[in-house]
Structure 1
């Protein structure tokens, strides 16, 4: 696979290995895997970044270099890096503050096998009982023409360059968002189109969740509910939507919660309905609203969910329990309609403010 960042990878290899660069790239599957994971480099901040898998490789290779194994042949006797140290280092890297342990534990190896099914090596070796980890040195060393080439330092340079590109793209997004926020009413069309672009299919899943939250927060903002514990003391309160934490967090399937109704919202980009059942089960089949990054009509989505539920669970009463747990489905057309309603109410600037605020928190953006 060749993309715009591939040339950067090749140039780093040329700087390191000169005329052997192309041969080393064709021989080293780990470089080819990194090439696949950096395809979003020039597609802007909205495209998937794959930092989790890249950083799992990065911290292990960094540990390998820091201990001098790239210049000696004693790595096979190394006791392994501690998981806690690797995990902490991942979170110190740009955009890595809230990364979880999936990439280090299995995600990298599983995906590598998918891309290179005939390869006998996997990138990450681990001793689960002792929580010790190694990069597979067989994937770092290339032997041909009676020469040995180690790509460890090149991998660090490649990922560092990718980080720099993504940081620059994200800063451009923030600046663009802030500029559009300050547009006059006459430029509202441009501002709304900008938000529509943030809902496109190639948008990073985290950014889609942020934009969905920002839209729905102000869509519900003026809706009022009356409630109370006594008939003579009924309170009036606006609906308020709260984001429960970082995106992709292990929070039991609750991305947003609404006060005072206690509604749960789960944002998803998958149309694999088995994931919906998992989310429903995680919260004990409490009613949940799904915000789905899909243009498929809501009724068709419901039909597919019910069909899969009947196939998987068969029993009518159980199928009904799952279907009853789906309080509402909000697809992309509905989300756009709700954004347009929020804009009509004068909330465009506040929606953009919220996108900026949540993006800076999510992507660990430092103003300095």
Structure 2
């Protein structure tokens, strides 16, 4: 894909878009989601500080916090300097969402959901399932209010398109390759062994 990228970028775009599907391996979906979102936020800035006449301008930076599907109870991505948390999931089990919200003490969180369903439908299903268990709607509303944003596959595809327009296709591909090497324990020495 790296060799094809300069001569036939449409093949690279098709390859990456193909990894944004409900039936794709969860680890690959998380890697591709991270790579796209990293460069989607890359050129966005915030101004912050303690005094209005002394503000600092910073790019938004998205960091991956560990291995994919590590089952380590951690959060998948974190954004600096805003401190936004991102969790990638493929389930609509409300218990998973509420547990992730509890992990960060009901701090706002963005969920990246491996689904083509509309965001309103996804949120509706999570809430409807919670209503079957919790009798107090105030509890459900408190948890649901912690969901800062939901990013589904159509949103990821839209953001992928925007990053391509900004010239980040090669960067995204390189990030997918780098993250995949880490995830699948692939080293350069294996590459040399295969060549011999």
Specify if TM > 0.5: yes
- Counterpart of 2:192 in structure 1 is none
In 1: Cα distance, 2:52 partner to 2:151 partner: 34
Ranked by relative contact order (alpha carbons within 8 Å, sequence separation 6 or more), the top structure is 2
Quick check: 1:178–1:356 contact (8 Å CA) kept in 2?
A: no
Instruction: Give the Å deviation of 1:231.
Output: 1.5
For structure 2, list consecutive stretches of 5 or more residues without a partner in the other structure: 190-196
Instruction: Give the Å deviation of 1:305.
Output: 1.4
From 125, 130, 136, give the equivalent of 1:315. Answer: 136
In 1: Cα distance, 2:74 partner to 2:146 partner: 13
For structure 1, list consecutive stretches of 5 or more residues without a partner in the other structure: 1-176
Query: Does the alignment pair 1:363 with 2:187?
Result: no
- Pick closer, same or farther for the CA change 1:283–1:251 going to 2, 3 Å: farther
Query: Does the alignment pair 1:178 with 2:2?
Result: yes
Deviations 1:81-137 (A, max 9, x none): xxxxxxxxxxxxxxxxxxxxxxxxxxxxxxxxxxxxxxxxxxxxxxxxxxxxxxxxx
In 2: Cα distance, 1:253 partner to 1:281 partner: 12
Quick check: 2:46–2:60 contact (8 Å CA) kept in 1?
A: yes
Instruction: Give the Å deviation of 1:228.
Output: 0.4
Name the TM-score, length of structure 2 as normaliser: 0.91
Query: Does the alignment pair 1:269 with 2:90?
Result: yes
- Counterpart of 2:153 in structure 1 is 332
From 234, 238, 249, give the equivalent of 2:70. Answer: 249
Name the TM-score, length of structure 1 as normaliser: 0.50
Indicate the RMSD between aligned Cα atoms, in angstroms.
1.3
Deviation beyond 4 Å, 4+ runs, structure 1: none
Alignment of 1:201-350 (within 5 A): 201-350=22-171
Quick check: 1:252–1:283 contact (8 Å CA) kept in 2?
A: no
Deviations 1:267-324 (A, max 9, x none): 0112223221221122222111000000010000111112122222221221111111
From 150, 168, 173, give the equivalent of 1:352. Answer: 173
In 2: Cα distance, 1:329 partner to 1:210 partner: 17
Alignment of 1:192-207 (within 5 A): 192-207=13-28
Rg larger for? 1
In 2: Cα distance, 1:313 partner to 1:288 partner: 21
- Counterpart of 2:194 in structure 1 is none
In 2: Cα distance, 1:329 partner to 1:180 partner: 33
Quick check: 2:21–2:153 contact (8 Å CA) kept in 1?
A: no
Alignment of 1:19-30 (within 5 A): none
Instruction: Give the Å deviation of 1:250.
Output: 4.1
In 2: Cα distance, 1:357 partner to 1:332 partner: 22
